[in-house]
Amino acid sequence: MSSPTITTTDDLAARAAAALDACGVDAALRTTPGGGHAVRTPITGGAIATVDATRLPAPGPAVTHAAEVFATWRATPAPVRGRLVKRLGELLNTHRADLGALVTLEAGKIPSESDGEVQEMIDVCDLAVGLSRQLHGRTMASERPGHRLSETWQPLGPVAVITAFNFPVAVWAWNTALALVCGDPVVWKPSERTPLTALASCALLARAADDVGAPAGLVQVVLGGAETGRALVDDVRIPLVSATGSTAMGRLVAPRVAARFGRTILELGGNNAAVVTPSADLDLAVEAATFAAAGTAGQRCTTLRRLIVHEDVADAVVDGIAARFAQLPIGDPFAQGTLVGPLIDGTSEERVHDAIARSLADGGTLVSGGTRRLQDAAPDAHYLEPALVTMPAQTAVVREETFGPLLTVLRYRDLDEAIALHNDVPQGLSSGIFTRDQAEAERFLSAEGADCGIVNVNAGTSGAEIGGAFGGEKETGGGRECGSDAWKGYMRRMTSTVNYSGRVALAQDVEFGG
């Protein structure tokens, strides 16, 4: 099934302009008679807007302003800082349709996923507003009489946030809502593919700042490629770089920031797997696996890439997923009923085809999918049927992340083998197990089980709630964003001692002097 037509590029450009106007984006940023940064939509492959990047700050001046405004913002009480984020959440709610449309236009997501991403922004604003009154320190018992020993948390400084195309606004909000209540300005480098969502988000934040009397320029957008990213990564005035992208990108970012003793929050590659046991509810497992593998056209960091199925139920699971894949409506994400939109570009399509070819060369079988769709309707776009491959073993290609709709099925005999297969990859982001056996579930959740940062029981690998810290282990980077105590990453810890005894008392009963 597929949509017979694709919305024209002109109509999509008109939608983009209307959404940008509604969010209050300066029209001058989009009028570039002499050229500029062309924004292309994956829906048709055509240009829907042009951004005049010369009207945006360069990395150096942006960091200079962030450092200046930090002096004021860090001295603002945290609950007052929370008012800004509260107002931002209100404006996001008002303009959820506008932002959602821009996400679909730039990233190619179906509207329900785009709307869900905007909802994440609103939810994390709620979380951050609550945190603004709960940035708790602690008081410890001092070993010295007449002394008080405590820890407090202080604002860290300007934060660089580097985001990827697939979640163009949610990941920014995860970082920015927390950074702002913690007292940190933000310099944001969005993906070059998704600058419109960035401009719209920052326009709403600027309006929120004006409404509550917060300083201007607490969040700034810088647009550019690797050179812009390097400028932020290398700037000693930025104590924290939060970067989302490939493991290859992380290998470049981490040592450069560490060389100047800065901090990083890295959200990198995912090669996520789920185990299906003989006791599992197979209908539930198949349904969850279908969305986890095909949602966002497989372009989530939490996409299900590997399904490790017990040999007794493997045939039923493979048949069930193949049937579901065949029924997925593929096409224009704005068309009614579409569930799978386009890949971001041709390179992504080539990557999927290459992974399929290498899998077959390693003895795998292509069960279904992998075929390009809608070439006549959208020759410059890249729509792909989700592919299902069975493999006799976890070869090199299976251990790599394919950022697209490709699901590989492996068989296992016992849970030890399944866990070993699950963990035998360089990445460690999200995982799952489908079982009705409590012992199996607990084993998977134990120290001897899954080695990922996110572990699910009877749920797919994609989709995370903002209340829990998001991130993974190994080559996924080890960073944590959003919920739990992730706010501590945006602050510096201060241990303080107050001596009210009136005499000098050294720790560990040390004596010095006469």
Sheet holding 159-162, edge to edge: 219-221, 186-189, 159-162, 240-244, 263-267
Backbone angles phi, psi at 225, to 5 degrees: -100, -140
DSSP H or E run through 250: helix 247-259
Q: Rounded to whole angstroms, how far apart are CA atoms 66 and 34?
A: 30
Would the CA dihedral through 19, 25, 28, 31 be positive or negative?
Answer: negative
Backbone angles phi, psi at 282, to 5 degrees: -65, -35
Residue 452 known to be catalytic: no
Residue 487 contacts residue 135 (beta carbons within 8 Å): yes
Whose CA is closest to 273, among 413, 427, 416, 439? 427
Q: Which residue has the tokens 């006791």?
A: 279
CA distances from 351 to 15, 346, 355, 382, 399 (A): 30, 9, 6, 12, 14
Residue 482 known to be catalytic: no
Backbone angles phi, psi at 112, to 5 degrees: -65, -35
Please pick, among 23, 182, 202, 301, the residue that the annotation labels catalytic.
301
Question: What string of DSSP letters covers 179-248?
Answer: HHHHT--EEEE--TT-HHHHHHHHHHHHHHHHHHTPPTTSEEE---SHHHHHHHHH-TT-SEEEEES-HH
Q: Rounded to whole angstroms, how far apart are CA atoms 83 and 77?
A: 10
Q: Rounded to whole angstroms, how far apart are CA atoms 300 and 302?
A: 5
Backbone angles phi, psi at 401, to 5 degrees: -85, 125
Residue 162 contacts residue 503 (beta carbons within 8 Å): no
Q: Rounded to whole angstroms, how far apart are CA atoms 106 and 155?
A: 34
Please pick, among 106, 117, 267, 385, the residue that the annotation labels catalytic.
267
Q: Mind telling me the catalytic residues?
A: 267, 301
